[in-house]
Amino acid sequence: MNHKPLIFITNDDGVRAKGLQKLIETVRPLGRIVAVAPEEGQSGMSHAITMTRPLYLKKVTEQEGLTIYGCNGTPVDCVKIAFDYLLQNGETPDLVLSGINHGANSAVNVLYSGTMGAAIEGSFYNIPSIGFSLLDHDEDADFGTVQQYILPIVRKAMTENLGRPLCLNVNVPNLPAEQIRGIMPCRQNRGYWREVFERRQDPRGHDYYWLCGYFENTEPEATDTDEWALKNGYVSVVPIQVDLTNYEQLGQLKELKFE
Q: Using CB under 8 A, which residues numbered 24 to 63 contact a second copy?
A: 41, 43-52, 54-57
Question: Does 12 belong to an annotated binding site?
Answer: yes
By the rule CB under 8 A, 253 interacts with a second copy: yes
Residue window 82-121: x/- pattern of binding to a second copy, with contact defined by CB under 8 A: -xxx----------------------x-xxx----x--x-
| Partner residues linked to 44 by β-bridges | none
Q: Which residues contact 249 (CB under 8 A, 6 or more apart)?
A: none
Choose the binding region for a second copy from 15-23, 127-135, 139-147, 243-251 (rule: CB under 8 A): 243-251
Residue placing its CB nearer to a second copy in the complex, 2 or 52? 52
By the rule CB under 8 A, 239 interacts with a second copy: yes
Per CB under 8 A, contacts with a second copy among 125-144 are 125
Choose the binding region for a second copy from 27-35, 75-83, 128-136, 137-145 (rule: CB under 8 A): 75-83
Give, for 182, the enclosing helix (H) or strand (E): strand 182-185
Q: How far is CA 125 from the centre of its chain?
A: 16
Q: Dump the DSSP string for 23-49.
A: HHHHHGGGSEEEEEEESS--TT-TT--
d(CA 237, CA 182): 11
